[in-house]
Chains A and B, each alone.
Chain A
Amino acid sequence: MTPAGSLLVADELRKTYGPTVALDGAQFSIHPGEVVAVMGPSGSGKSTLLHCLAGIVPPDSGSITYNGREMATMNDAERSALRRSEFGFVFQFGQLVPELTCVENVALPLRLNGTPRKEAEKAALGWMERLEVDDLRKKRPGEVSGGQGQRVAVARSLVTNPRVLFADEPTGALDSLNGERVMELLTEAARSTNAAVVLVTHEARVAAYSDREIVVRDGKSRDMERVV
């Protein structure tokens, strides 16, 4: 399946961890600016699919094409560079660096790309304002609440203006109110930059923020639109 105009396409992905089959012929595609929710129960292979799509974990077989280029042909350094410049990430627990201040955390991906510190922090502050956490700039992650930390993590994922944003259970550790606010800000920011969002979740109310839903079960994916 290679729908026309897709930015990221995966076909017949297979991945096993020892005796456990995580992906068993999974398919996926996403267009620029599209928000796709990947749903499924715990252990169904959602996160593995996200990791494969982002070039973090190589699949055992199958192909992943980003912007017309086969990922399997890229080496580790090229995939890392792709993640630095084209992709953004939000994880369930934020995974902020505890010793850096919030603004330093948000500026980190830019700095890894070689942007000078002041310039990177200025851009970071801009994103923090959009995500309503600019007052936390001097605080360390240990000094802010979970919801605030997750918004800082979203700001960090968007600071490089990525073309694809990977969000793995971004509201999993938040209460519903905070979760909804984070999702609003995330999808709003992504749409404003025309970034595609791969949203891994098992919550229907989070998936509701997406344009399309894919269900993963036993390592196989199904497009909900076609089923419904």
Chain B
Amino acid sequence: MSLRQWWRDLAMGVRFAFAGGREGWVRALLTAVGVGLGVALLLLTTALPSAVAVRHQREADRTDITYSDKIIPKAADTLLVASSGTTFRDTDIRGRELEPEGPKAPLPPGVGKFPAVGEMVVSPALKELLDSSDGKLLRARLPQRIVGTIGESGLIGSAELAYYRGAEGLAAQGITGGRITRIDRFGNPSPVQERTDPVLVLLVLVVFVVLLMPVAVFITAAVRFGGERRDRRLAALRLVGADGRSTRRIAAGEALAGAVLGLVLGTGFFLIARQVAGSVEVFGESVFPSYLDPSPLLALLVGLAVPAAAVLVTLLALRGVVIEPLGVVRTAKPSRRRLWWRLLLPLAGLGMLYPMVGQGRDGGDFNQYLVTGGVVLLLVGVTALLPWIVEAVVARLGAGGVSWQLAVRRLQLSSGTAARMVNGIAVAVAGAIALQMLFAGVEGDYSEDTGYDVSRAQMQVSVPEGKTLAATARQLAATKGVQDVYAFDEGYANDGQGDDAHFGRVTVADCRSLRQVAELPSCHDGDVFASHVAPDADGSGQHNADGESGVAAKPGKTLYFDTSEDPAKPTSVTWTLPKTLKQARSIPDPTGYRRGGILVTPGAFSAKAAAGVRGEIYVHLDESMPDAREYVRNTAARIDPLEEPMTWVSVKRNDRFDTIRTGLFMGAVCVLALIGASLLVSQLEQLRERKKLLSALVAFGTRRRTLSLSVLWQTAIPIVLGLLLALAVGLALGVVLLRMTGTAVRVDWPSVLSMTGAGAAVVLVVTLLSLPPLLRLMRPDGLRTE
């Protein structure tokens, strides 16, 4: 066989891919769109590592707060930076105050000119928010004139909310290296390579495999669109002299044409998605289009693997078909599907994962190749087992009503087609179930109970230097949406000045606030209490008890408060415990602490010692008031622009864990949509192939409901089997992954059932969407031949 002949056959296949007028083009386009969607998703995946790296780099390039003890001296190239970030609703806003100290002060990335006092430069997303009616509340907190926008190089996402505003007198507020710092360049001077938690690596690997497997299954389904018609075309070619091998090469050429067109469309879809990605925010994450540059090597791999897979799948599909000159003969009795090798795949997968059981418990690394290989084999096992299960079950299904009989008989005749249709869903659901179990299992390890009692207070505001507790509390209490405030001056005092002096906590507050931290026998302004943490406290809310104060709380005892601003020059003031010292029993305060030590009402405290304590105010909100938190933030910003009130939550999650979870949800949405599209296309194609038959059935009086039901059964039976298999494999994989991480095995049934339900919902939606075309195809027009 000459190369020329090969080339001729392939070229003829390419021509056939688009032949047949409108119908030919529609068929080629369907395949190309299917392959294209898969290619776009693969290209997006290849672009993710670069997106993460660019994001990380940009974050590093704009680092300013160094938390270093060493404060560099003021110079022509220094800049004072103060962190003044805030939160609007649930979104963090990165904010910095800038005060250049000389003409060579470094500009932050993305900023062309320092904003003057009363001016700010903002990110495009923040500008849009501030200009909108929605952002009015935020505008009250950021009233400065907007003089420019931050460029892409200074932001980590297109939807990031960020600003830089001009400031003066920052040095007077104390350069600590923390909240206010002096820098001569942006960027982290001492970057630290963080070691990634092996369990998180495991999660990321599994998420990738689980999301990409259905895409691969989808692509293989897409290249088989229009298969029956192609077989008939090949039979016609046999009649005019093409031999069996030649027809296979022509079929390969056809598949290649569809795949290459799919690659072109996929690249187009990817470029569109890349642009769209720049204008959307999903689960609080956004990117710039420029972040999504596929790794050249991976993109090349996609470009080669997709057409190769298309040809391979087509040739494999032709195995069971004998193309004779007078028609296509499907091997009348297809060879019975064998179970043994299908079982080997998931068993081999389990075998690869088994050696890593328990490894996560002691922080050991997982072998990435074994994890990926094991999960892939398990999920490929689903695609291998499902056709066998569908065949075995439908062969045993009895005849029922006409619609049931039509569906069952069709499934018996070609159970492989049905299994292929649901393979993608089954793989996605199996993977998602395993991941849900893993997430639910390790969630406890990555979530922390903060101990805050959010029923008593929801926000905390620190009283800034130079402001009094009472005045700040009054301002907050008068704020819209605030139900109550509990205000405390807190500090520590020694009972002597020598090395043997004891150290104890002192809390100054009015009686109403003190009742939030201790059970008081009676309380009037001027009272002082010694608060005890009962040794047999029931532990409720005892997140971190201070324990018994080290200070022996005896009437007449003198306490020393440190009032020095510079640790090198200690100064202290004294205050004496009154003779009427009362006893109190500590209860968990709203932050969850049980505080011991001395509780003092303002009337009993010395004005001189006030410099040795610092004010903290717990704010109880009226939760029925929309945006109550925003009003508090606005008041706090008025009191001190650098003050960011703390919003309490009862459970805190590891951020990185949240990111992976977010990734899974985003991916699952894309994959389910993709599979849904694939199912719909296959369904429509099957219906079109049967147009004439459907019309004939209607002609002799078949009810439309009967035919619609038969389509539903035809989809529902394999789907139910697929979901059951997915449930079994997903649970098995979930158990193995949990044991690998050393976590107790627990099935999170609500999420398992919701995943299964989501898979079933996709099928239902696809069936509903295919009903209108089905009804159209059932019109008698289908009988017309001319």
Interface assignment of B655: CB less than 8 Å from any CB of chain A: no
B780-A143 in contact (CB<8A): no
- Which B residue sits closest to A113, measured CB to CB? B701
In angstroms, how far is the closest chain B Cβ from the Cβ of A221? Answer: 17
Which of A42, A95, A108 lies in contact with B402, CB distance below 8 A? A108
Known: A47-B783, A104-B409. A143 touches B700 (CB 8 A): no
- Which A residue sits closest to B714, measured CB to CB? A99
Instruction: For chain B, residues 401 to 432, give those with C-beta under 8 angstroms from any C-beta of chain A.
Output: 402, 405-406, 409-410, 412-414
Residues of B with C-beta under 8 A to A84: 700-702
- Which A residue sits closest to B412, measured CB to CB? A99
Interface assignment of A88: CB less than 8 Å from any CB of chain B: yes
Residues of A with C-beta under 8 A to B332: 142-143
B413-A88 in contact (CB<8A): no
Interface assignment of A100: CB less than 8 Å from any CB of chain B: yes
A100-B700 in contact (CB<8A): no
A109 CA to B692 CA, complexed, in Å: 17
A140 CA to B332 CA, complexed, in Å: 10
A67 CA to B735 CA, complexed, in Å: 70
Residues of A with C-beta under 8 A to B399: 117
Interface assignment of B338: CB less than 8 Å from any CB of chain A: no
A222 CA to B702 CA, complexed, in Å: 33
Interface assignment of A54: CB less than 8 Å from any CB of chain B: yes
Residues of A with C-beta under 8 A to B785: 47
- Which B residue sits closest to A166, measured CB to CB? B699
B786-A43 in contact (CB<8A): yes
Interface assignment of B56: CB less than 8 Å from any CB of chain A: no
Residues of B with C-beta under 8 A to A83: 699-701
Interface assignment of A68: CB less than 8 Å from any CB of chain B: no
Instruction: For chain A, residues 69 to 93, give those with C-beta under 8 angstroms from any C-beta of chain B.
Output: 80-85, 87-89, 91, 93
Instruction: For chain A, residues 30 to 48, give those with C-beta under 8 angstroms from any C-beta of chain B.
Output: 42-43, 47-48
A99-B409 in contact (CB<8A): yes
Residues of B with C-beta under 8 A to A88: 700
Interface assignment of A112: CB less than 8 Å from any CB of chain B: yes
Residues of B with C-beta under 8 A to A97: 406, 409, 693, 697
- Which A residue sits closest to B780, measured CB to CB? A56
B-side interface size class: 20 to 34
Interface assignment of A57: CB less than 8 Å from any CB of chain B: yes
A100-B406 in contact (CB<8A): yes
Residues of B with C-beta under 8 A to A111: 402, 405
Q: Which of B330, B402, B412, B700 has the most CB of A within 10 A?
A: B700
- Which B residue sits closest to A52, measured CB to CB? B780
A112 CA to B406 CA, complexed, in Å: 12
Interface assignment of A98: CB less than 8 Å from any CB of chain B: yes
Instruction: For chain A, residues 53 to 70, give those with C-beta under 8 angstroms from any C-beta of chain B.
Output: 54, 56-57
In angstroms, how far is the closest chain B Cβ from the Cβ of A149? Answer: 13
A17 CA to B706 CA, complexed, in Å: 29
A109 CA to B706 CA, complexed, in Å: 12
A17 CA to B697 CA, complexed, in Å: 22
- Which B residue sits closest to A42, measured CB to CB? B786
Residues of A with C-beta under 8 A to B692: 93, 95
B784-A47 in contact (CB<8A): yes
B409-A112 in contact (CB<8A): no
Residues of A with C-beta under 8 A to B410: 99
In angstroms, how far is the closest chain A Cβ from the Cβ of B322? Answer: 13
Residues of B with C-beta under 8 A to A109: 700-701
Encode B693-731 as 1/0 by CB contact (under 8 A) with A. Answer: 100111111110010000000000000000000000000
A95 CA to B694 CA, complexed, in Å: 9
A140-B783 in contact (CB<8A): no
A88 CA to B701 CA, complexed, in Å: 9
Known: A109-B700, A112-B702, A117-B399. A99 touches B783 (CB 8 A): no
Q: Which of B332, B698, B780 has the most CB of A within 10 A?
A: B780
Which of B414, B701, B783, B784 lies in contact with A80, CB distance below 8 A? B701
Residues of A with C-beta under 8 A to B703: 80, 112
- Which B residue sits closest to A111, measured CB to CB? B402
Interface assignment of A212: CB less than 8 Å from any CB of chain B: no
Residues of A with C-beta under 8 A to B405: 100, 104, 111, 117
B701-A91 in contact (CB<8A): no
Q: Which of B410, B693, B706 has the most CB of A within 10 A?
A: B693
Instruction: For chain A, residues 119 to 148, give those with C-beta under 8 angstroms from any C-beta of chain B.
Output: 140, 142-143
In angstroms, how far is the closest chain B Cβ from the Cβ of A94? Answer: 9
Residues of A with C-beta under 8 A to B780: 51, 56-57
Residues of A with C-beta under 8 A to B693: 95, 97-98
A117 CA to B702 CA, complexed, in Å: 16
A84 CA to B697 CA, complexed, in Å: 10
A89 CA to B330 CA, complexed, in Å: 28
A177 CA to B703 CA, complexed, in Å: 36
A93 CA to B691 CA, complexed, in Å: 14
B402-A89 in contact (CB<8A): no
Which of A17, A100, A142 lies in contact with B409, CB distance below 8 A? A100
A99-B406 in contact (CB<8A): yes
Residues of B with C-beta under 8 A to A140: 413
In angstroms, how far is the closest chain A Cβ from the Cβ of B693? Answer: 6
B699-A54 in contact (CB<8A): yes
Residues of A with C-beta under 8 A to B701: 80-85, 87, 109, 112
B413-A87 in contact (CB<8A): no
In angstroms, how far is the closest chain B Cβ from the Cβ of A219? Answer: 13
B413-A99 in contact (CB<8A): yes
Instruction: For chain B, residues 461 to 475, give those with C-beta under 8 angstroms from any C-beta of chain A.
Output: none
A142 CA to B416 CA, complexed, in Å: 18
In angstroms, how far is the closest chain A Cβ from the Cβ of B61? Answer: 64
A80 CA to B706 CA, complexed, in Å: 13
Residues of B with C-beta under 8 A to A93: 692
B700-A87 in contact (CB<8A): yes
In angstroms, how far is the closest chain A Cβ from the Cβ of B68? Answer: 76
In angstroms, how far is the closest chain A Cβ from the Cβ of B15? Answer: 28
Residues of A with C-beta under 8 A to B413: 98-99, 140
Residues of B with C-beta under 8 A to A142: 330, 332
Known: A91-B696, A143-B332. A112 touches B783 (CB 8 A): no
- Which A residue sits closest to B706, measured CB to CB? A112
Residues of A with C-beta under 8 A to B406: 97, 99-100
A24 CA to B405 CA, complexed, in Å: 42
In angstroms, how far is the closest chain B Cβ from the Cβ of A96? Answer: 8
- Which B residue sits closest to A101, measured CB to CB? B409
- Which A residue sits closest to B786, measured CB to CB? A43
A63 CA to B706 CA, complexed, in Å: 30
A3 CA to B717 CA, complexed, in Å: 54
Q: Which of B330, B409, B706 has the most CB of A within 10 A?
A: B409
Encode B742-774 as 1/0 by CB contact (under 8 A) with A. Answer: 000000000000000000000000000000000
A168 CA to B703 CA, complexed, in Å: 22
Residues of B with C-beta under 8 A to A43: 786
A127 CA to B725 CA, complexed, in Å: 44
Instruction: For chain B, residues 154 to 174, give those with C-beta under 8 angstroms from any C-beta of chain A.
Output: none
In angstroms, how far is the closest chain A Cβ from the Cβ of B455? Answer: 62
A118 CA to B780 CA, complexed, in Å: 30
A100 CA to B698 CA, complexed, in Å: 16
Residues of B with C-beta under 8 A to A85: 701
Which of A87, A89, A101 lies in contact with B696, CB distance below 8 A? A89
Residues of B with C-beta under 8 A to A99: 406, 409-410, 412-414
Considering the complex of A and B, which 9 residue pairs feature the smallest CB-CB distances, nearest first?
A: A84-B701, A95-B696, A83-B701, A56-B780, A99-B409, A99-B410, A99-B413, A89-B700, A80-B701
* Extra pairs beyond A87-B700, A117-B399, A156-B700 (14, CB < 8 Å): A42-B786, A47-B786, A56-B783, A57-B781, A89-B699, A89-B700, A95-B692, A97-B409, A100-B405, A104-B409, A109-B700, A111-B405, A112-B700, A112-B701
- 29 A-B pairs, CB-CB below 8 angstroms? A42-B786, A47-B783, A47-B786, A54-B699, A56-B698, A56-B699, A56-B780, A80-B701, A80-B702, A83-B700, A84-B700, A88-B700, A89-B696, A91-B783, A93-B692, A95-B692, A97-B409, A99-B409, A100-B406, A100-B409, A101-B409, A104-B405, A109-B700, A112-B700, A112-B701, A112-B702, A112-B706, A117-B405, A142-B330
